[in-house]
Chain A
Amino acid sequence: MHFLIRCLERLALGMNRLAAVAAVLMSLFVFLGVVMRYFVGAPFAFSDEFIGLLFATMAFLAMPLGLVMRRHIILDIVTRGLQGPLRHFVDIGATVILTTFCVWFFALSYDFADFSRLLDARSDIGSMLLWPWMAMLPLCTVVMVLVSLGQLFDSLRQLAGRPSLFSLAGEEEAL
């Protein structure tokens, strides 16, 4: 189990790096779009679409690491003061919610991408094939499902008094 969690953490870190690459590409592409328009006089016809797709890719690729590092925004007004076993019970509840949501969203986004593949759906202006981009949604959410299941297991272990298996939570240097 320890090994699997380590693998998940590595995977999330790798996805973060891919997201950073998408981010660099996005910045460069928007910049080049301006250059092309003003200095070359030939604007990219479908740059808006392409940037939108890069943007979605970056956003979803970036989500799993946030989960691993427990960086996501939570409303902890009620739970902040809790200590001991009660704390772990609440954590388990929170993780169940997270897992449920991720599983549900995974199923929906899988259907969405698959249906678009069957239709051979393409973007409006550039006629880009859409399903490979759409497939990023289920792909990234399935990693989130795995992470949240790992955290659920981890919370149960902690309830039994064992230490957490996750090593990246709150570690800025891990990047």
Chain B
Amino acid sequence: ELKMHSQIVESRPEAKYLQQFADDVAARSNGRLKINVFHAGSLGLKDADLLRIMQAGAVDMAMLYGEYFTRDAPELGVVYVQGAIRNPQQHLQLLPTMRAIYEEGYSKWRIHTVGGVVSPVFNVGVHCKEPVNSLAQLKGKKLRVWGSHLVGTFQGLDVAAQVIPQNSMYMALQTGVVDCAYYLSTVAKTVSIQEVAKYEAYMHPWAAVPWMFGVSDKAWSRLPKDLQTVLVEAGEAMWAKTRDAAVSPERENAAIEERKALGITMLEPFSQGDVSSFVAASDKAWADMAKSAGPKGTEYYQRMREAIAKLTP
């Protein structure tokens, strides 16, 4: 039996994929290998410590998300940023480069990776208490964002952005600590955002880092060859399955209808000009962030830039 940590709450689709992977491993191994998944951080571990924890082998497996490790491995946090892509299909083209970088990065921490979950490419929108669908309107509003790169990006656009954790977002909007939240529109319902922000405008597709299934080298070397193969096969199968499901206009449209039914007013998306400004500001903040993450950070950034340069628009 392997113990596996995951920070994702069960209401998110990524958690359901993870559970399917665990069930698949049990089925493929005829019950010889059982992965006991602890969802929603229920092992009491924090993602920021995960690299150290996995290196020490204190937990066997974990769902790894590169952006959570900036303290210990800043280079892993600069691989991909919001604004790197403008349409969902581009995400799929960047995936192989991203995966190669992460596999290399994790292996330095004595973590073996066996596939993973490609996060669905959700819509990212701005959710406000009042109608806002342009950068001009966003100036003068207090905006909630989720990471320091976004703070830098919005700073470049003269918008006052602050990082507020997802759990505090509802209260922050309700009490007016912020006027708007930059958040994943598709799953906004799970945090009851419709109760505190009635207007939404689409901005760009979510540039989501893939969740990788990490196995500590300690646990990996304990497994017999055939069970290692089972893990690799199940991980690859999940990777392929989630990659194919990642881009889905139907899912996004259904989610939009659902939010409309909950009383949210859908505004026109941010204009192409606004998105271009956002992308330009994001690029600049990205380059700065990569530089401060050391030589490895710069290297990863350049590899991603090269892949982006080859994208078909």
Contacts and interface: CB of A to CB of B under 8 A. Distances in A.
B162 interface: yes
B74 interface: yes
Interface residues of B, number: 13
Interface string B172-203: 00000000000000000000000000000000
Interface in B79-125: none
Contact of B70 (A45, A115, A116, A124): A124
Interface in A105-125: 115-116, 119, 121-125
A127 interface: yes
B163 A130 contact: no
Contact of A122 (B74, B160, B162): B74
A45 to B, nearest CB: 7
Contact of B71 (A43, A45, A130): A130
Given A115-B52, A127-B292, A45 B151 contact: yes
A123 B71 contact: yes
A19 to B, nearest CB: 25
Contacts of A125: 148, 151, 163
Contacts of A119: 72-73
A39 to B, nearest CB: 15
Interface string A41-52: 001010000000
Classify chain A's interface size: 10 to 19
Interface in A81-106: none
Contacts of A121: 71-72
B53 to A, nearest CB: 12
Interface string B41-84: 00000001000100000000000000000111110000000000
Contacts of A43: 160, 162
Contacts of B72: 116, 119, 121
Given A43-B162, A115-B52, A127-B292, A122 B151 contact: no
Contacts of B73: 119
Contacts of B74: 122
Most buried by B among A43, A116, A123, A124: A124
Interface of B: 48, 52, 70-74, 148, 151, 160, 162-163, 292
Given A121-B71, A121-B72, 17 more contacts: A43-B160, A115-B52, A116-B72, A119-B72, A119-B73, A122-B70, A122-B71, A122-B74, A123-B71, A124-B48, A124-B70, A124-B71, A124-B148, A125-B148, A125-B163, A127-B292, A130-B71
Pairs of residues from A and B, 4 with the lowest C-beta to C-beta distance, nearest first: A125-B148, A121-B71, A124-B70, A119-B72
